Amino acid sequence: MRIFLDTSDVDVIRQHCETGLIDGVTTNPTLMMQAGRDPVEVIKEISSLFPGYASISAEVVGDTAEEMVSQAKDYYSINKNITIKVPCSVEGLKACKVLSDKSISVNVTLIFSVEQAILAAKAGATYVSPFVGRCEDNNIDGIGLLETINKIYQLNKISTEILSASIRNLNHISESFKAGADVVTLPPSIFEEMYKHDLTDQGLAQFDEDWKKVNHK
């Protein structure tokens, strides 16, 4: 049961890494654009925050598998904790097979069907990333998709791990793990919500009040 952060904001990642609760990071071109920096330099900096094993997903783009594989070299040469992120397309899966045959970790993203997850596993993906929230946006049962992928992987002894993505709320986290996800990747705002509960706040306030009374006796 692992938690990744879905962001390219190095300062935010550093802040949450200090908790010891973050197991990796996922990024994408949109998040890189928001960072406004050279993607390779951003990935280098993120990678340096995880001295032990972690998974830092760096997404490649291109019209052909050759372009994706070529771009991937800029990332996987940084550190052994880099995972190359490719789309679940014909060319993306070709790139996945080439990279996985070289023992390079690959995350196949934009998974919206069981069939896509099967193909990604066949291509040697380390992770598949079903988009739970975006599935729901399009009247697809995202959690049900996770459950079915997990069942098929278990029945066929497939080692590819399920990385639940497009997480929109706290319920998505618990339901993803319940459905068999190995990892959830979260926007920092959702991760921060995991700490919170009204009863916890009330309890802390009561403890604080009682402690002050004790100290004033």
Catalytic residue status for 122: no
d(CA 1, CA 203): 28
- What pLDDT was estimated at residue 217? 60
pTM of the model: 0.91
Whether 109 contacts 85, CB under 8 Å: yes
Q: Around 73, how many Cα atoms within 13 Å sit in the side-chain half-sphere?
A: 6
Stretch 39-60: mean pLDDT: 89
Whether 84 contacts 72, CB under 8 Å: yes
* Structural domain boundaries in the chain: 2-215
2-215 in CATH: which number? 3.20.20.70
Lookup: tokens for 136: 């729901």
Taking the CA atoms of 156, 157, 159 and 161 in sequence, report the sign of the dihedral they define: positive
pLDDT in tens, 90-131: 999 999 999 999 999 999 999 999 999 999 999 999 999 999
Stretch 135-140: mean pLDDT: 96
pLDDT greater at residue 85 or residue 205: 85
Stretch 143-156: mean pLDDT: 98
Range with the poorest average pLDDT among 18-27, 47-56, 119-128? 47-56
d(CA 162, CA 172): 14
- What pLDDT was estimated at residue 211? 76
Give Cα separations from 215 to 204, 205, 211 (angstroms). Answer: 16, 16, 6
* Catalytic residue from among 80, 85, 122, 213: 85
